[in-house]
């Protein structure tokens, strides 16, 4: 093995990297919204295992410096192309990034949306507490953003005033 020369054809290296990138893009889009800061230890373990499992699929038997740089460059370029395409097309942006999801509306938790987003009630309550909200009824709306961040709109300080129109 030569230090600089890839052991597999350059085109195969590019195709392998693109397949892994597209697979991860699809899978992470399907499993829901969660920020890195909201990852549980279980999520981190799964992420590390996925990276290890897919490493060989992406690089094959090639451990050359050039092969590694080629694979990394392919993934970065693919990500740039997808980002550019998504920024120029609202439909593609929604398909890739997702759309915001209402989890609380006028103090009531929308259980179907929690299930759809694979977001537990405990996760919701924990996110609310981190924003200083300790009672769901204080919330006019809570929206799970495509980034995984929870945006919370509280009722005005006069609790309950104008609440149920």
Predicted confidence at residue 106, as pLDDT, reads: 96
Mean pLDDT of 129-158: 90
CATH architecture for segment(s) 101-154: 2-Layer Sandwich (3.30)
Tokens of 36: 């890195």
Give the pLDDT band of residue 1 (cuts 50, 70, 90).
Answer: low
Query: What is d(CA 53, CA 73) in angstroms, rounded to the nearest whole number?
Result: 20
Query: What is d(CA 102, CA 124) in angstroms, rounded to the nearest whole number?
Result: 12
pLDDT tens digits, residue range 71-93?
889 999 999 999 899 899 999 98
Predicted confidence at residue 41, as pLDDT, reads: 77
Give the pLDDT band of residue 95 (cuts 50, 70, 90).
Answer: confident
Which one is predicted more confidently, 97 or 131?
131
Residue 138 is given by DSSP the state: G
Predicted confidence at residue 9, as pLDDT, reads: 87
Nearest 5°: the CA angle 149, 30, 129 is 25
Percent of the chain with pLDDT over 70: 88
Give start-end residues of each CATH 3.30.240.20 domain in the chain.
101-154
Are the C-beta atoms of residues 18 and 59 closer than 8 Å to each other? no
Q: Residue 34 pLDDT > 70, yes or no? A: no
pTM of the full structure: 0.67
Residue 132 is given by DSSP the state: T
Q: Residue 151 pLDDT > 80, yes or no? A: yes
Please report the DSSP string for 71-131 in residue order: HHHHHHHHHHHHHHHHHH-HHHHHHHH---EEEEETTEE-HHHHHHTT--HHHHHHHHHHT
pLDDT tens digits, residue range 102-128?
999 999 999 999 988 888 899 899 999
- Give the largest CA-CA distance in the chain: 74
Predicted confidence at residue 139, as pLDDT, reads: 95
Predicted confidence at residue 125, as pLDDT, reads: 94
């Amino acid at each position: 093995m030569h230090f600089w020369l890839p052991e597999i054809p350059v085109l195969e290296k590019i195709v392998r990297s693109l397949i892994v990138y597209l697979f991860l893009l699809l899978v992470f889009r399907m499993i829901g919204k969660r920020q890195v800061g909201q990852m549980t230890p279980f999520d981190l373990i799964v992420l590390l295992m996925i990276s290890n499992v897919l490493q060989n699929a992406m690089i094959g038997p090639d451990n050359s410096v050039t092969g590694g740089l080629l694979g990394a460059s392919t993934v970065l370029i693919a990500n740039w192309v997808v980002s550019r395409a998504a920024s120029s097309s609202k439909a593609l942006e929604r398909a890739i990034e997702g759309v915001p999801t209402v989890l609380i509306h006028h103090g009531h938790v929308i259980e179907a949306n929690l299930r759809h987003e694979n977001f537990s009630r405990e996760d919701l309550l924990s996110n609310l507490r981190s924003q200083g909200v300790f009672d769901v009824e204080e919330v006019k709306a809570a929206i799970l953003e495509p980034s995984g961040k929870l945006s919370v709109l509280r009722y005005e300080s006069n609790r309950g005033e104008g609440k149920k129109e």
